[in-house]
Structure 1
């Protein structure tokens, strides 16, 4: 079995199987799912799959972050979900999807399948502009005309591509959707819009109140998407009333006679105005408050990318290029942000003493420099925290400069990184935009690299490594009596949530560290996993706590909630038993946070080193803020 097929099978099994998949597709780095019942997802098992960088819900869309090989994994996954994942089965369970979440999910589902076409064609147009700028090609010659036609074709005929993609997303007939696109792009309307004919408007069915305006729908985005949505509901309604014996012919014809006049009369103009309105707003923001807009969008772009919301900006960027010939916000800010993640990752590669981390940081940095940032963000920078912050600070500062200067892209280029530099070349041959792009390229890499090197980060020690105690403070080192020959044991976080210092707890037994040193976590999920590998020493019948003896002699108590012993096991489900061998990351106990809170009992969970006297010190990595399952939590110094 190939590695990619193994990943696909494990992912599919942990999202509830093919029958739970409504839709599946992929973008550049992520597998994306719409699921019937998101409660069937085993998030933590998916995160532990070799080859998976992370997993998350973005609205009701479930995303599995795979990285550069996502297309290979999806090629194995796609035949597994056909039939069971066709989306023909029932409604999704769980909460109704909010309008913002539904909109983001829809836009992502429509645009991600056509990104390869947009990226390839856009990059070709970018190289053409670069060649003109460098004097290697004449923009009035035949070669330029032919290559420009190849690069421009997908944008000119964009309604056709969106018709197919949108029809697949909403599960209606793709060929009927293509009829709508073909009508919008028919020469009768295009010639009138371009002034080739003298027609200024059209009427239909002799109805004087219906006046169809003359508009050019080439390169348009919103009109065809809204028209396909209307097609879905009209076609389904028509099929219900037309006898099946003649439905094949009459249902499409009647659908066309309803949908296309409404589209040409109302939806087309409405969609055109909506798209142009959104484009105008973003252009205005960068014209009037360019530095502020660049600071915010550049600085927070990594967080936007993490949620997948950057795809929501794609139609606006396309509309900007269609209206003004340039993209003033999406690609310029992603260019800076992606390279900043690469620069921070390269800084980690130089400064880290962990050989595995060095190798990961180099490969992830190269990937981010190309335009695929998830490996660098999830595998390196976010894991070490500070490099991620340095990258955001750098991209915010450079984004402010780019917004002030008016840095812009002249084509849509797909992966935004080193190979997208040509899209920032002006097709007119002006050299300044290309020079600014090269300067920002260098600064975006260098600034976070320097910040990472100068200010550092909390390195992850290699397993069994002997080194100095954690670089918390000199006072802590002295109080712990740490020397360069002392060893450390790392305790991982058994759950996801918010850190709470023991001294802030209401239970004096834990607050006064009577049972030992440690940290508490207010959980945001309903299970705990093993923080170390070892053996289950204690598991009471109430199942609210578990005692573990680690392979290095550490004794860890995980106590879920305060006074939860009074529940007598209610709302708890232990997945292991006393004397069981357990491995780090293995799920130990499931519990119902909401039910425990409803019983007026605190759910804050304590992680205590009960044999604290055996160690020089027990140090927590952080005292507050969020913590993720599997993240380094405590360091035990001997």
Structure 2
């Protein structure tokens, strides 16, 4: 499907441009904050060819597209009308204070700035590699220029976060960035705007030898380093959003442009410098120290637990909650020992399981998808593997969690660390090189990712996969087809009985009547083949017969539906009428019991057609194979419009 067409369909199914409060994307997902989530057509979104899955995370709708996300987002952005720019953000709608809203906020803040952080982090990793192999030295001018480029985004991280957070809080992003600039101003904080090579020689948190400033008798700590800080600026922008909103309400419209920015900036800055920013800095410090103590005290168990659950964090968006701590680790320790190393082994475990799936499955389309998703996971992008492959097959997902847990335990036991922020894939390997020349950390992380990959790969290869879970249940399924109309099917047979051959299974008609395609049934559950694939019958006879040898698996409490299981593994549902549940069992006479063995042609159920007509319920009876995806092919082979119970073949399976 073309990107423009896909974008148009997505826009339609999320409720149109007027339903979008905010839209953005990450590496693999379109993300939306919507004005009304009830307007989303979930089923139609799921059935789009290039959509790997959708997920509601709190207030946020996520549509997983994989590698196509950039191009589709570009087309989507063009389609959204200008009036959407004036729509209120999520903060202007009804406030919802919940853990899901918190994760949605963190996702919205960190996702847009990741390209800058990942790009510069990877550049620093490459520079570390060049230092170790001796191709560059710290005194080399080329190295210094590249180092300045790689350091800038991380050093001025508060400015990036301020802009992103302001958009999420629905406040002025330029005032927010001004707050970040104040935090980094040399005389108001301990941030050093001289040679960045001196940064590593400084105490990572509090600088001594500098006196506090006094403002109206209140002390402003200026010995705190806010460079690369996260929590202080997040709290400050949150405060700005409230003060700005209050001032906008109080100041007359004719003076807003002149007076409002002054009041907002001065009041917010003073509160920030005296209270908010120092509080945030101390929270970040103790958060880092807490995780550091946990991993030093029980590293193997902490790594095991985090490794085994990180993919679940990714699915729910909870991994964004660890981002502030990760950035604090880099700010204070110059390395991360938690999120990125364990994400690395988790991603390679997903890659291992997905690669094994690609080898095992027979479906060519899904095999191609699995190979592509495995490669993406190796490079650090796991959403295509998780949503498109392992979660669909279930067992590989559980196996990948186990492989990740073992890799995480090794990371925790060996205290492995990365020295730069980068996407946790093979390209990030240089970031595990210690510039001091010790390569043990680099070798051990290679051991950890190989271990997690092989465990997931081998165990998945040894596991039986249920390929029926990967085939779409919509009408585009290539293994299922119904002709354009039953009238166009030429008559092939007059009377045939149920038979089983080595190559096919055939199901005879259970009710005498007139056939119509399942897609014409005025009930989405059947028409969209959510229950299974098959055909529908308008009964002229009033008895349901067993269409094969097997047993009764279930009988509806209201007697209007019966489930059967054949001796050859076919699961069949016969649903007499569409609104017949409302009859409460009246007009039906069940002739068998649940669990009873039945023979082909044996009467199962009688129903009163006149009674059903009197109560104005539809006689239309869907006959569907609920496990049709377990067979290589499925087809309707009925040869005429009007069929007779017991005499005409209805469905054929191979």
- Shorter-chain TM-score: which interval? 0.7 to 0.9
Cα separation, partners in 2 of 1:326 and 1:619, compared to 1, 3 Å = same
Query: Structure 1 residue 190: deviation in Å?
Result: 3.8
> Residue by residue, what CA displacement relative to the aligned partner does 1:225-279 show, whole Å, maximum 9, x if unpaired?
1111111221222122222222211110111221100000000011111222222
Greater shift, 223-232 or 118-127, is seen at 223-232
Residues of 1 paired with 2:52 and 2:575: CA distance? 27
Partner residue, 1:360: 369
- Asked if structure 1 preserves the Cα contact closer than 8 Å seen for 2:89 and 2:170, the reply is no
Cα separation, partners in 2 of 1:137 and 1:51, compared to 1, 3 Å = same
Cα separation, partners in 2 of 1:47 and 1:198, compared to 1, 3 Å = same
Residues of 2 paired with 1:152 and 1:141: CA distance? 16
Partner residue, 1:625: none
- Asked if structure 2 preserves the Cα contact closer than 8 Å seen for 1:536 and 1:547, the reply is no
Partner residue, 1:328: 337
Cα separation, partners in 2 of 1:122 and 1:302, compared to 1, 3 Å = same
Cα separation, partners in 2 of 1:321 and 1:619, compared to 1, 3 Å = same
2:537 is the counterpart of 1:537: yes
Query: Structure 1 residue 223: deviation in Å?
Result: 1.1
2:438 is the counterpart of 1:430: yes
Partner residue, 2:235: 226
2:246 is the counterpart of 1:263: no
Residues of 1 paired with 2:237 and 2:506: CA distance? 58
2:582 is the counterpart of 1:565: yes
Residues of 2 paired with 1:349 and 1:560: CA distance? 42
Cα separation, partners in 2 of 1:121 and 1:139, compared to 1, 3 Å = same
Residue in structure 1 matching 2:573, options 556, 560, 568: 556
- How many residue pairs get aligned? The number is 524
- Asked if structure 1 preserves the Cα contact closer than 8 Å seen for 2:244 and 2:264, the reply is yes
2:174 is the counterpart of 1:172: no
Q: How does 1:482-493 map to 2 (within 5 A)?
A: 485-487=502-504
Partner residue, 1:417: 425
- Asked if structure 2 preserves the Cα contact closer than 8 Å seen for 1:555 and 1:610, the reply is yes
2:359 is the counterpart of 1:350: yes
Residues of 2 paired with 1:112 and 1:87: CA distance? 22
- Asked if structure 2 preserves the Cα contact closer than 8 Å seen for 1:339 and 1:368, the reply is yes
Residues of 2 paired with 1:424 and 1:609: CA distance? 59
Partner residue, 1:381: 390
Residue in structure 2 matching 1:200, options 202, 208, 211: 211
- Asked if structure 2 preserves the Cα contact closer than 8 Å seen for 1:24 and 1:85, the reply is no
Cα separation, partners in 2 of 1:146 and 1:94, compared to 1, 3 Å = closer
Secondary structure, in 3 states, of the residue corresponding to 2:574? strand
Partner residue, 1:29: 28
Partner residue, 2:185: 186
Partner residue, 2:15: 16
- Asked if structure 2 preserves the Cα contact closer than 8 Å seen for 1:554 and 1:609, the reply is no
Greater shift, 421-430 or 253-262, is seen at 421-430
Secondary structure, in 3 states, of the residue corresponding to 2:85? coil
* Alignment RMSD (CA, Å): 3.8
Cα separation, partners in 2 of 1:90 and 1:56, compared to 1, 3 Å = closer
Partner residue, 1:138: 137
2:77 is the counterpart of 1:69: no
Greater shift, 78-87 or 38-47, is seen at 78-87
Residues of 1 paired with 2:407 and 2:313: CA distance? 17
Residues of 2 paired with 1:560 and 1:385: CA distance? 35
2:261 is the counterpart of 1:252: yes
> Residue by residue, what CA displacement relative to the aligned partner does 1:86-124 show, whole Å, maximum 9, x if unpaired?
363497999963421121111111111111000100101
Q: How does 1:291-306 map to 2 (within 5 A)?
A: 291-306=300-315
> Residue by residue, what CA displacement relative to the aligned partner does 1:32-87 show, whole Å, maximum 9, x if unpaired?
11111111111111011121110011111111111112111111122333544336
TM-score normalised over the length of structure 2? 0.72
Partner residue, 1:515: none
Cα separation, partners in 2 of 1:231 and 1:546, compared to 1, 3 Å = farther
Residues of 2 paired with 1:446 and 1:300: CA distance? 18
Partner residue, 1:496: none
Query: Structure 1 residue 192: deviation in Å?
Result: 8.1
Q: How does 1:270-281 map to 2 (within 5 A)?
A: 270-281=279-290
Query: Structure 1 residue 320: deviation in Å?
Result: 0.8
Cα separation, partners in 2 of 1:291 and 1:203, compared to 1, 3 Å = same
Partner residue, 1:577: none
Residues of 1 paired with 2:294 and 2:506: CA distance? 51
Residues of 1 paired with 2:170 and 2:105: CA distance? 12
Partner residue, 1:582: none
Residues of 1 paired with 2:281 and 2:207: CA distance? 21
Query: Structure 1 residue 620: deviation in Å?
Result: 11
Partner residue, 1:402: 411
Secondary structure, in 3 states, of the residue corresponding to 2:21? strand
- Asked if structure 2 preserves the Cα contact closer than 8 Å seen for 1:21 and 1:85, the reply is yes
Cα separation, partners in 2 of 1:92 and 1:119, compared to 1, 3 Å = closer
Structure ID, larger Rg: 2
> Residue by residue, what CA displacement relative to the aligned partner does 1:592-637 show, whole Å, maximum 9, x if unpaired?
xxxxxxxxxxxxxxx997899xxxxx8998xxxxxxxxxxxxx997
Cα separation, partners in 2 of 1:198 and 1:450, compared to 1, 3 Å = closer
Cα separation, partners in 2 of 1:545 and 1:113, compared to 1, 3 Å = farther
Cα separation, partners in 2 of 1:459 and 1:50, compared to 1, 3 Å = closer
Residues of 2 paired with 1:315 and 1:408: CA distance? 17
Residues of 1 paired with 2:525 and 2:175: CA distance? 48
Cα separation, partners in 2 of 1:134 and 1:442, compared to 1, 3 Å = farther
- Asked if structure 2 preserves the Cα contact closer than 8 Å seen for 1:343 and 1:449, the reply is yes
Partner residue, 2:457: 449
- Asked if structure 1 preserves the Cα contact closer than 8 Å seen for 2:287 and 2:325, the reply is yes
Residues of 2 paired with 1:128 and 1:291: CA distance? 31
Residue in structure 1 matching 2:347, options 338, 341, 344: 338
Q: Which runs of 5+ in 2 are unaligned?
A: 193-201, 472-477, 481-498, 508-523, 540-557, 564-569, 586-620, 631-650
Query: Structure 1 residue 402: deviation in Å?
Result: 1.2
2:231 is the counterpart of 1:214: no
- Asked if structure 1 preserves the Cα contact closer than 8 Å seen for 2:399 and 2:459, the reply is yes
Partner residue, 1:156: 155
- Asked if structure 1 preserves the Cα contact closer than 8 Å seen for 2:355 and 2:374, the reply is yes
2:38 is the counterpart of 1:39: yes
- Asked if structure 1 preserves the Cα contact closer than 8 Å seen for 2:53 and 2:387, the reply is yes
Cα separation, partners in 2 of 1:355 and 1:211, compared to 1, 3 Å = closer
Cα separation, partners in 2 of 1:251 and 1:567, compared to 1, 3 Å = farther
- Asked if structure 2 preserves the Cα contact closer than 8 Å seen for 1:347 and 1:450, the reply is yes
